[in-house]
Amino acid sequence: MADEGWAVGLVRTGRAWELTLSLGEQKLIGEHMAYLGRLMEAGEVTQAGALFAPDHGPAEDGLVALIVYAVDAARARVIADKDPAVRAGLITLDIRPWYTGS
């Protein structure tokens, strides 16, 4: 039976993303990282990290990072909607259930 208790978040650039700035220079990235840190401490996020296109910028579809949630997709959506970077439009989070096949 597939494990339906986890989810992944595909992080893409949002309307407030400044293409001339690197990931680390984006406004609210510090708040976003602090929020992820609190979620990790609470056990709701297990891993998160940047994904870069070959030119070290966002992929063509804006993909910049991946977040692994140790909660189901419905809870992950609630968590994502509270992220300060999502609320400000810096990033969007496409939440998907993660079926591990176990």
- Phi then psi dihedrals of residue 100, to 5 deg: -85, -15
Strands (E), 2-90: 6-13, 45-50, 63-69
Q: Which of 6, 2, 95 is nearest to 46 (CA)?
A: 6
Would you say 93 and 67 are in contact if contact means Cβ atoms under 8 Å apart? Answer: yes
pLDDT along the chain (102 residues), means of 10: 76 95 90 97 95 80 95 96 97 92 64
Quote the pLDDT of residue 1. 35
Quote the pLDDT of residue 54. 67
How many Å apart are CA 59 and CA 65, to the nearest integer? 10
Say if pTM beats, i.e. exceeds, 0.85: yes
What dotted CATH number matches 6-47+63-98? 3.30.70.1060
